[in-house]
Amino acid sequence: MTRRRFARGDARRRVLRAATRLFSRQGFAATSMGKIAAKAQASPSSIYWHFRGGKHDILLAVLDEAAETFAGRTVELVREAANPADKLEALFREAQRQMESTPDALRLLLQMSLERADDSPEVRDRIQEIFGRYRDAIAEQLTAAVPDRAGPRAQGAAALLLATLQGIFLQWQLDPDSVELDSMFDQLRTSALSLALS
C-alpha cells in the first residue's frame, strides 16, 4: 500500500478517525498500531511521532476529542436556548444528531466504558468526565424547567435520562430496522418533563 504524506494536523485527524472506527468495531485489545496505520494511510513511525505512548495515548486523544465534540457541543447548544422547553429540545435534537452522524464515536464511548475503564484510571476519568458533563447539563436544564426539583432529584433524573439516551442508541445499533430514532425521541420528549416532575 502506498502511504501518502499529510500535513501534521491532517495526519493526526486521520489517525484519530481511524482509531475511533477500529476501537469501536474491534475493541482496544484487538486493534494493533499496524491496523491503525493502514486505516489512516500513515506509517507507524509517524503515528508514534504524534502519539508517543502508542495506542493508549491515541485512545486518550480520541476520548478528549469526544468530550469536546459531544459534551462540549451539547452544553453549548443547550445553554444558548431561550427557555427550559427549548433547552430540552436542543438537548434531544443534538443527542439524536450525534447518534446519526457519529455512531462510531458513541459506540467507542460505551465500549471503552466496559473494556478499558477498569484497566486504566486515565480512561475511566475521561469517560466519567464526558458522562458527568452530560449529566450536569441535563440536570441544569431540568432544574431550570422545574426549580423546586433542584439538587439530588435533578441529578437522579439527569442520570436516568442519560441512561435512556444510551439505551436508545444501543437498541438502534442492535436493531436499526425495528428501532426508529425519530419515534424514540418523540416518546422521550413526551416523557421528559413528567420525569422531572415526579
pLDDT tens digits, one per residue of 82-130: 877 788 888 889 899 999 998 988 888 888 888 887 888 888 888 888 8
For the chain, give every domain's residue range. Answer: 56-197
Show the low-confidence residues of the chain (pLDDT under 70): 1-9, 193-198
Residue 193, pLDDT score:
61
Please give the span between the terminal C-alpha atoms of the chain, in angstroms, as a whole number: 59
* Beta-carbon contacts of residue 31 (< 8 Å; ≥ 6 apart): 19, 22, 23, 55
**Rounded-to-integer distance, Cα 179 and Cα 187, Å:** 12
| CATH 1.20.950.20 is the classification of domain 56-197 | no
**Is the overall model pTM greater than 0.75, yes or no?**
yes
- Rounded (to 5) percent helix, strand, coil in the chain: 80, 0, 20
**Whether 78 contacts 137, CB under 8 Å:** yes
Residue 195, pLDDT score:
57
Categorise residue 54: left if φ over 0, alpha if ψ from -120 to 50, beta otherwise: left
Output b/e per residue, 30-64; b: 16+ Cβ within 10 A: ebebeebbebbbbeeebbeebbeeebeebbbbbbe
Residue 147, pLDDT score:
77
